[in-house]
Amino acid sequence: ISRQKALADILEHALMYCIAAKLPQPKPLVSLLEEGRRQCYLHDEAMAEHARADGQRTLACASGGRARHLPIRRVQSRVARLLKVEAPVGGWKSKAHAARVIAEPLVHFIRKHRFAMSSGNECVIRNIVRWINKEPRVGAAFMAKRSTLG
Protein backbone atom coordinates (compact mmCIF):
# COMPACT_ATOMS: atom_id res chain seq x y z
CA ILE A 1 0.00 0.00 0.00
CA SER A 2 2.82 2.42 0.79
CA ARG A 3 4.32 1.88 -2.69
CA GLN A 4 0.97 2.68 -4.28
CA LYS A 5 0.70 5.80 -2.14
CA ALA A 6 4.24 6.78 -3.09
CA LEU A 7 3.43 6.28 -6.76
CA ALA A 8 0.24 8.33 -6.41
CA ASP A 9 2.25 11.10 -4.70
CA ILE A 10 4.80 11.06 -7.52
CA LEU A 11 2.07 11.28 -10.13
CA GLU A 12 0.40 14.10 -8.25
CA HIS A 13 3.67 16.02 -7.98
CA ALA A 14 4.42 15.46 -11.66
CA LEU A 15 1.01 16.80 -12.60
CA MET A 16 1.51 19.83 -10.37
CA TYR A 17 4.91 20.51 -11.99
CA CYS A 18 3.29 20.35 -15.41
CA ILE A 19 0.56 22.76 -14.34
CA ALA A 20 3.03 25.06 -12.56
CA ALA A 21 5.28 25.15 -15.63
CA LYS A 22 2.22 26.05 -17.70
CA LEU A 23 3.06 23.44 -20.23
CA PRO A 24 0.57 23.32 -23.02
CA GLN A 25 0.26 19.59 -22.51
CA PRO A 26 1.10 17.47 -19.45
CA LYS A 27 3.53 14.58 -19.79
CA PRO A 28 2.02 11.41 -21.12
CA LEU A 29 0.78 8.97 -18.49
CA VAL A 30 3.22 6.30 -19.68
CA SER A 31 6.24 8.49 -18.94
CA LEU A 32 4.81 9.43 -15.54
CA LEU A 33 4.29 5.75 -14.71
CA GLU A 34 7.82 4.96 -15.85
CA GLU A 35 9.19 7.72 -13.61
CA GLY A 36 7.17 6.33 -10.69
CA ARG A 37 8.45 2.81 -11.34
CA ARG A 38 12.03 4.10 -11.47
CA GLN A 39 11.57 5.97 -8.19
CA CYS A 40 10.14 2.83 -6.52
CA TYR A 41 13.13 0.82 -7.78
CA LEU A 42 15.56 3.41 -6.38
CA HIS A 43 13.69 3.37 -3.08
CA ASP A 44 13.84 -0.45 -2.90
CA GLU A 45 17.58 -0.39 -3.67
CA ALA A 46 18.20 2.19 -0.93
CA MET A 47 16.20 0.13 1.58
CA ALA A 48 18.08 -3.05 0.63
CA GLU A 49 21.44 -1.28 1.04
CA HIS A 50 20.34 0.04 4.43
CA ALA A 51 19.29 -3.47 5.51
CA ARG A 52 22.66 -4.90 4.39
CA ALA A 53 24.55 -2.22 6.32
CA ASP A 54 22.37 -2.80 9.38
CA GLY A 55 22.97 -6.56 9.18
CA GLN A 56 26.72 -6.05 8.96
CA ARG A 57 26.61 -3.70 11.94
CA THR A 58 24.61 -6.27 13.94
CA LEU A 59 27.14 -9.00 13.12
CA ALA A 60 30.03 -6.73 14.12
CA CYS A 61 28.36 -5.91 17.44
CA ALA A 62 27.64 -9.57 18.14
CA SER A 63 31.20 -10.65 17.43
CA GLY A 64 32.49 -7.80 19.62
CA GLY A 65 30.25 -8.96 22.45
CA ARG A 66 31.51 -12.53 22.13
CA ALA A 67 35.10 -11.29 22.08
CA ARG A 68 34.56 -9.23 25.24
CA HIS A 69 32.83 -12.13 26.98
CA LEU A 70 35.58 -14.67 26.23
CA PRO A 71 37.96 -13.49 29.00
CA ILE A 72 35.09 -13.48 31.50
CA ARG A 73 34.24 -17.06 30.58
CA ARG A 74 37.90 -18.02 31.12
CA VAL A 75 37.83 -16.38 34.56
CA GLN A 76 34.54 -18.15 35.38
CA SER A 77 36.10 -21.47 34.37
CA ARG A 78 38.99 -20.72 36.72
CA VAL A 79 36.51 -19.91 39.50
CA ALA A 80 34.76 -23.27 38.98
CA ARG A 81 38.12 -25.05 39.06
CA LEU A 82 39.24 -23.20 42.21
CA LEU A 83 35.94 -23.98 43.92
CA LYS A 84 36.64 -27.67 43.42
CA VAL A 85 40.39 -27.67 44.12
CA GLU A 86 40.55 -25.22 47.04
CA ALA A 87 37.53 -26.58 48.93
CA PRO A 88 38.25 -27.34 52.59
CA VAL A 89 37.82 -30.88 53.92
CA GLY A 90 34.35 -30.17 55.37
CA GLY A 91 33.23 -28.27 52.27
CA TRP A 92 32.35 -24.62 51.77
CA LYS A 93 30.44 -23.08 54.68
CA SER A 94 28.88 -20.36 52.51
CA LYS A 95 29.22 -18.63 49.18
CA ALA A 96 30.94 -15.69 50.86
CA HIS A 97 33.39 -18.07 52.55
CA ALA A 98 34.24 -19.69 49.22
CA ALA A 99 34.61 -16.29 47.55
CA ARG A 100 36.99 -15.02 50.25
CA VAL A 101 39.17 -18.13 50.05
CA ILE A 102 39.56 -18.24 46.26
CA ALA A 103 39.71 -14.46 45.73
CA GLU A 104 43.50 -14.21 46.11
CA PRO A 105 44.42 -16.96 43.61
CA LEU A 106 41.80 -15.55 41.22
CA VAL A 107 43.22 -12.01 41.48
CA HIS A 108 46.65 -13.47 40.67
CA PHE A 109 45.17 -15.25 37.63
CA ILE A 110 43.43 -12.06 36.40
CA ARG A 111 46.57 -9.97 36.75
CA LYS A 112 48.84 -12.64 35.24
CA HIS A 113 46.70 -12.86 32.09
CA ARG A 114 45.97 -9.10 32.06
CA PHE A 115 42.22 -9.47 31.71
CA ALA A 116 40.39 -6.16 31.40
CA MET A 117 38.37 -6.47 34.56
CA SER A 118 38.60 -5.14 38.06
CA SER A 119 41.09 -7.11 40.12
CA GLY A 120 40.44 -5.51 43.52
CA ASN A 121 39.67 -8.11 46.20
CA GLU A 122 36.21 -6.73 47.07
CA CYS A 123 35.13 -6.57 43.40
CA VAL A 124 36.42 -10.09 42.79
CA ILE A 125 34.58 -11.42 45.86
CA ARG A 126 31.32 -9.79 44.68
CA ASN A 127 31.81 -11.24 41.18
CA ILE A 128 32.47 -14.73 42.54
CA VAL A 129 29.30 -14.68 44.67
CA ARG A 130 27.29 -13.34 41.69
CA TRP A 131 28.68 -16.05 39.40
CA ILE A 132 27.90 -18.76 41.95
CA ASN A 133 24.30 -17.50 41.97
CA LYS A 134 23.85 -16.86 38.23
CA GLU A 135 26.26 -19.04 36.23
CA PRO A 136 25.24 -22.73 36.16
CA ARG A 137 28.78 -24.07 35.75
CA VAL A 138 30.15 -22.05 38.68
CA GLY A 139 27.09 -22.77 40.83
CA ALA A 140 27.41 -26.50 40.15
CA ALA A 141 31.09 -26.45 41.20
CA PHE A 142 30.13 -24.73 44.46
CA MET A 143 27.25 -27.13 45.14
CA ALA A 144 29.50 -30.15 44.53
CA LYS A 145 31.84 -29.02 47.34
CA ARG A 146 29.50 -27.29 49.79
CA SER A 147 29.32 -28.30 53.40
CA THR A 148 26.61 -30.79 54.28
CA LEU A 149 26.45 -29.46 57.85
CA GLY A 150 23.73 -26.95 58.82
Q: Is the pTM of this model over 0.75?
A: no
pLDDT at 80: 94
CA distance linking residue 148 with residue 49, whole number of Å: 61
pLDDT at 17: 65
- In tens digits, the chain (150 residues) has pLDDT values of 577 777 777 777 776 666 555 555 666 666 766 777 787 777 778 778 877 777 777 776 666 666 677 788 889 999 999 999 999 988 999 999 999 999 999 999 988 888 877 767 888 899 999 999 999 999 999 999 887 765
CA distance linking residue 122 with residue 23, whole number of Å: 81
Of the candidates 96, 93, 92, the one whose C-alpha atom is nearest the C-alpha of residue 126 is: 96
Residue 26 CA neighbour count, 13 Å, CB half: 15
In the chain, the largest separation of any two C-alpha atoms, in whole Å, equals 101
